[in-house]
Homo-oligomer: A and B are copies of this chain.
Amino acid sequence: MSTAEETAGGEAQAWGEVTPDAARRLLIAAVEAFAERGYHATTTRDIAGRAGMSPAALYIHYKTKEELLHRISRIGHEKALEILRTASGRAGSPTERLADAVSSFVRWHAGGRTTARVVQYELDSLGPDARAEILGLRRLVDAEIRGIIEEGARSGEFDVIDVHGTTLAVLSLCIDVARWFNVGGPRTPEEVGELYADLVLRMVGAAGSARAAGSGADPQT
């Protein structure tokens, strides 16, 4: 599927912060390989090969194969967190902000499925320390969604029986997109984002949740 830059970075996924150019190419190659085959089934020779380098080149920029996964995981989680914080920090009602958060989070999982897959499903392949660090970031992600739901519940705009459980379900829905979404499939990331935002609003019992389909993305500002 074409070059590394297009596949893994296609959706304007950053990776720009990874500074030596060769290190970035290796990292993007690793994201692709991990997403396709999984961390343990990917060899360092495969990663280096995809980046157009010899196996030994990898170890100039990264200490171990695990460090690659760790870096990918941290950058990915930070990006996810940033997306949610942008949505939840905007002005607007909990309903608007939850719809915005879910649709942009889903768009990220669908559009950058390659990255999202690694970020969401290869966590267990990290060692204890790295894993603990990433779990900390995940708690922040969780808190972001829970915050919006709590606010809506407090104001009476939402009707939720179990805030924690509902938060878990909303995140489940979003994250699982990375498992099934197919780039060649019938739906665009935008369509899935809109559909899922609507479904989530129904889950939290928001008032006018059965919105008309077909309009563009949700209005901003």
Interface residues of A (CB under 8 A from B): 37-38, 40-41, 121, 124-125, 159, 161-162, 165-166, 168-169, 172-173, 175-177, 179-180, 187, 192, 195-196, 198-199, 202-203, 205, 210, 213
Contacts and interface: CB of A to CB of B under 8 A. Distances in A.
A159 B179 CA distance: 27
B41 A125 contact: yes
A33 to B, nearest CB: 13
Nearest to A186: B164
B187 A165 contact: yes
Q: For the complex, would chain A's binding face be called helix, strand, loop or mixed by DSSP majority?
A: helix
The list of the 3 closest CB pairs from A to B, nearest first, reads A40-B40, A172-B176, A40-B41
A199 B210 contact: no
Contacts of A198: 161
A54 B30 CA distance: 36
A38 B39 CA distance: 10
Given A38-B38, A172-B176, A210-B159, A203 B205 contact: no
A125 B38 contact: yes
A168 B162 CA distance: 23
A40 B124 CA distance: 13
Contacts of A175: 176, 179
A203 B210 contact: no
A173 B169 contact: yes
Nearest to A166: B199
A50 B176 CA distance: 31
Contact of A195 (B40, B121, B162, B180): B162
